[in-house]
Structure 1
């Protein structure tokens, strides 16, 4: 029950960020959107900064879950990292949830305490990097995969046109070639 309320609060925070913007992120607005009292919100998140850090933490958890499922299905960590987000695939709730979390996190950066949000974001990104580094022997190649994956996802988050799919498949094939 507590995790349901916590998730409902974080879902509400995402909605406020995505639909109304960072200026409207107040404990009162998020509590109202989550249909909990302000005290109920504060039970789970002691401050606005803790709430925003919780959003980033959940982003990391969602990415880890998606990565682990992809690896269990036979996809390499590098191939998972290089995937293009497809939020039009309505049957992939996990991809949509990850996309929403990442977009909301990007919109929250200016609203948070630089220390807490940055530390939480650094931890999530370090986890992704560690997994790539563990799989790829060449650190430069791991960095190239990381940078290309970050760029492709950022293009999608910003609503920019995707790279030509055939050409991108060639990029991925070259990066994944041993």
Structure 2
């Protein structure tokens, strides 16, 4: 299976999770969705665990690429905390069910997948403040919580948020984390 077939398989795996959940992820389901053979999948993913971890890496990587596009560079090198927070807030919107289910699965059942997501959170998301007196860190973390809350709200609700309302919410969330606020 060439690299494009590998990516097609991962896109198919994402659709399976989107539609049917993580527990439905199997070689048979992905092969049928991607119109590939089970043997072709086994070549790149020798076990279901390998397939699942690759899917975590793929979906988390897509999210990080979105943040990179938001800042106009290929990684987070040289970015200040506020710029990373703003990219995180903007990129954390418009979630899909697969992303939600994979992050939940990683947080509760899959240590290797948890590490994949944690590396991205550690680079881009505002960390938990280490001191209550660090006003800027507290504000950035509150903004992160608000962004995560909006992401979760959009993930679990069938109704979509009007794009103009979402834009306003994103503006207000990023303003929460700005330095020099009272």
- The separation in 2 between residues aligned to 1:170 and 1:113, in whole angstroms, is 34
Q: Does structure 2 retain, via aligned residues, the 8 Å contact 1:49–1:113? A: no
- The separation in 2 between residues aligned to 1:173 and 1:25, in whole angstroms, is 40
Partner of 1:118: 114
Deviation at 1:160, TM superposition (A): 6.7
Deviation at 1:120, TM superposition (A): 2.4
Please list, as runs of the form range in 1=range in 2, the aligned pairs for 1:162-177 lying within 5 A after superposition: 166=168, 169-177=171-179
| CA displacement 1:131-151 (0-9 Å, x = unmatched) | x56xxx943333223222211
- The separation in 2 between residues aligned to 1:61 and 1:167, in whole angstroms, is 25
Q: Matched residue of 1:155: which SS?
A: helix
Please list, as runs of the form range in 1=range in 2, the aligned pairs for 1:136-151 lying within 5 A after superposition: 138-151=136-149
Partner of 2:130: none
Does residue 103 (structure 1) correspond to residue 100 (structure 2)? The answer is yes
Q: Does structure 1 retain, via aligned residues, the 8 Å contact 2:57–2:113? A: no
Structure 1 stretch 138-147 or stretch 12-21: which is displaced more?
Answer: 138-147
Q: Matched residue of 1:76: which SS?
A: helix
- The separation in 1 between residues aligned to 2:47 and 2:150, in whole angstroms, is 33
Deviation at 1:18, TM superposition (A): 1.7
Q: Matched residue of 1:176: which SS?
A: coil
- The separation in 1 between residues aligned to 2:21 and 2:102, in whole angstroms, is 11
Please list, as runs of the form range in 1=range in 2, the aligned pairs for 1:27-38 lying within 5 A after superposition: 27-38=27-38
Q: TM-score, normalised by structure 2?
A: 0.69
From 77, 82, 85, the counterpart of 2:89? 82
The structure-2 alpha-carbon separation of the partners of 1:27 and 1:148, relative to structure 1 and needing over 3 Å to count, comes to same
Q: Does structure 2 retain, via aligned residues, the 8 Å contact 1:17–1:104? A: yes
Deviation at 1:104, TM superposition (A): 4.9
The structure-2 alpha-carbon separation of the partners of 1:33 and 1:5, relative to structure 1 and needing over 3 Å to count, comes to same
Does residue 47 (structure 1) correspond to residue 47 (structure 2)? The answer is yes
